[in-house]
Copies of this chain bind each other. A is one copy, B any other.
């Protein structure tokens, strides 16, 4: 059996377990914002893990913006929960758009028919039968939904339906590989809107929350729409911070 950080069976990697435990402690205020986490050595002792494993967990907490680390000083708690507070590299925003390769695609509905003009106003009226997929993207190793998606697949490529549920990676890329075609152009439209009724529940949000809506159209060399998608993201994932430091004072933690 795998080594357990806390009681109960948990076959996830140790560093994920440690990260979650520390994240919970931070959220509960056991390590208040502004305070310092125990040193790596102390965490190694507590979890009976190697320094490498502990550092891996601390690195995840750093990327999540919960802590900041400084050589010679320690690990300081910067926020109690992700994405709401201040010092967070802009990199994280960029990473939000790289989710396709590393996430699970959980299909909840798959039908064929004409797309609703209100859902896909950009594809026009002259389209015929399409494959329409409703799915949730889940973060790797977690059950956290990244976005609720409605995907429209041109009938010519409806053959990928059988591998949508289990495959990984971007759908357009699999279409390219399987059918030997190439996406020539992608148009993306980003806006914010109230959380749609259909997306609130699967995303664990309410109608009072806000969604970031990302619409994409993938066009072939002939200009025809190969693929179109509407993605509703929980807006709080998009909060980000820019540190516009000008030659900051050395001792000052931002």
Contact = CB atoms under 8 A, between A and B. Distances in A.
Contacts of A119: none
Interface in A175-192: 176, 183-192
Contacts of A210: 192-194, 210
A153 to B, nearest CB: 14
B191 A239 contact: yes
A31 interface: no
B185 A248 contact: yes
A246 interface: yes
A98 B235 contact: no
Given A93-B90, A223-B249, A253-B97, A235 B192 contact: yes
Q: How large is the interface on A (under 10, 10 to 19, 20 to 34, 35 or more residues)?
A: 35 or more
A182 to B, nearest CB: 8
Contacts of A95: 63, 65
Given A86-B122, A189-B241, A254 B184 contact: no
A244 B187 contact: yes
A186 B246 contact: yes
A93 B93 CA distance: 13
| Interface pairs A-B: 7 shortest CB-CB | A100-B254, A191-B239, A186-B244, A192-B235, A223-B252, A189-B241, A185-B245
